[in-house]
Amino acid sequence: TNASEVFVTVSIEDQITPTAICDEITQVALSSDGTATVFAETFDNGSYDNCCLEGFEVRRLEDTAFEQSVVFDCEDLTGSNQVVLKVDDCYGNSNTCMVEVLVEDKLFPYLTVPADQEVSCEIYYSDIAAELEIGNPSVLDDLFGTATFGDNCSFNTTYTYTYDVDQCGVGSIVRSWTVTDGSGNGP
């Protein structure tokens, strides 16, 4: 019998890219330091592969390098934020999809005001009355302290004061601070 034998090496390769499925819209809330770090897996909505998934990476639409996470900050509160999610399989194949990211600032500004105080008639007339008459409320800050305030992003403050003191030095001085951030959080 005539016979011959030939050995052939067969390479089996996975050349099928994974199916990338992204969240359509992802909402992200900024933390107290005005940033939010979002890991790539957060944007996934059930991506799969015919063999095995290796991992996820993400980048902003305008960036070129993929990373494990993307950072958002106060500047991302306005406008559109698009990210690209990259899905990798175990054999070097990858696919991408896009996600719109809505960045939100849900934190209220903080505001601490000085405690109520009583002053004598003498102190009012010697240290306060004349300054208020000429429109200089800083004397109130010097004598009674001022509010402390801030926010994780930009904010606006307003300060008002009213005084209603009679000729005997009896009455009240009311100081008010209002702090509102750019997202409308605040009173």
Task: Compute CA distances 113 → 95, 98, 130, 163, 174, whole Å.
Answer: 54, 46, 24, 17, 12
Rounded to whole angstroms, how far apart are CA atoms 59 and 83?
A: 6
pLDDT at position 2 is: 80
Say yes or no to pLDDT of 1 above 80. no
Task: Compute CA distances 115 → 2, 90, 107, 147, whole Å.
Answer: 108, 63, 24, 10
Task: Give me the sheet containing 53-60, strands edge to edge.
Answer: 25-29, 94-104, 81-89, 53-60
Q: For 119-169, how does the pLDDT look when each residue is reduced to its tens digit (9 = 90+)?
A: 888 888 888 888 888 888 888 998 899 999 999 999 999 999 988 888 877
